Amino acid sequence: MRTPLVVGNWKMHLSRDEAGALAGEIRNKLDISPDQVGVAVCPPFPYLSAVHAVLAGGPVALGAQDGHWAPQGAYTGWVSMQMLVDVGCRYVIIGHSERRQFAQETDTDIGKKVKAGLGQGLAVILCVGETGPERDGGITYDVVMRQLSGALEGLSGAECDNLIIAYEPVWAIGTGKTATPAMAQEVHSFIRSWMEKRWGFGAAQKLIILYGGSVKPDNMRTLAAMHDIDGALVGGASLGAQGFLEIVRQADAGKR
């Protein structure tokens, strides 16, 4: 049985004080055991240390929104995976559609980041998903397969024990639109089947696959009830403790 995971992606929001206060409220009010649902938050880079100080020793893990593949070097504005580990991160999001779109990240770039993050012992949340025109064109599976193949090229199943996949249909991110549970389940099932062909049944069955795309308290339970949906990568709804914690509760309820 896979333990569900709910991850809050705070994107480029909040001040230092607001980030610390939100992290503290989530930690103090979380009433779900980590054995039931894993919980993590991913603040902006400048607040990682401050949020880590608030979360240290508690049930909520710290993650980052991106990381560079190089251990060090002349990469102005970037942050290495080692640096993320050094400030207490356990998770890192790689390949988010906003990075693909606005930073022009390629599947090759994302693959190097995935390898670097896994190599540092981070749990890598690899984001994949199609745009609206791609879904309308009937090529969702082709797009997802290309993204998975590019990001995981050269990696073995053993190297990917800490890999997590997040299916985020681009047309549903920040739009208020959400894939129906059945639509999301179809793609999650495809991802798990693809991983089974690549790395075998055991590796595919233990793989955590999250859904992301306008996740809210009122749709999390039905999403989590789907066999291959193991939780959520939450954007805007993670910026309020009450709503985020309700998503965590509904992720737990959906698996019962």
Q: What is the CATH number of the domain that holds 214?
A: 3.20.20.70
CB 84 within 8 A of CB 48: yes
Beta pairing partners, 71: none
Q: Which pLDDT belongs to residue 68?
A: 98
Mean pLDDT over residues 22-47, rounded? 97
148 band by pLDDT with thresholds 50, 70 and 90: very high
The residue annotated as part of the active site, out of 68, 105, 168, 188, is 168
Q: By residue range, what is the domain housing residue 68?
A: 5-239
As for how many domains the chain has, the answer is 1
The answer to whether position 233 is within a domain reads: yes
Look at residue 89 and tell me if it is in a domain: yes
82-127 pLDDT, tens digit each:
999 999 999 999 999 999 999 999 999 999 999 999 999 999 999 9
Residue 253 lies in a domain: no
Identify the pLDDT of residue 74: 98
Lowest mean pLDDT among 18-27, 57-66, 173-182: 173-182
The per-residue pLDDT for 52 is 98
| Residue 252, Ramachandran bin (φ over 0: left; ψ between -120 and 50: alpha; else beta) | alpha
pLDDT (0 to 100) of residue 159: 87
**Phi and psi angles of residue 62, each rounded to the nearest 5 degrees, phi first:** -105, 140
* Residue among 68, 96, 105, 130 flagged as catalytic: 96
Query: For the segment 188-218, what is each residue's pLDDT rounded down to a tens digit?
Result: 999 999 999 999 999 999 999 999 988 999 9
**Does residue 250 lie within any of the structural domains?**
no
Residue 255 lies in a domain: no
The answer to whether 52 is a known catalytic residue is no
Say how far apart CA 147 and CA 153 lie, in whole Å: 10
Q: What is the pLDDT of residue 19?
A: 98
Flag whether 248 is in a domain.
no
Q: How far apart are CA 191 and CA 255, in angstroms?
A: 19
Q: CA 144 → CA 75, 117, 135, 191, 236, distances in Å? A: 29, 21, 11, 8, 24
The CA-based diameter of the chain, rounded to the nearest angstrom, is 49
13 as an active site residue: the answer is: no
In a domain, 177, yes or no: yes
- Percent of the residues in the chain that have a pLDDT greater than 70, as a whole number: 100
- Is residue 247, in this structure, part of any structural domain at all? no
Supply the pLDDT for residue 238.
98
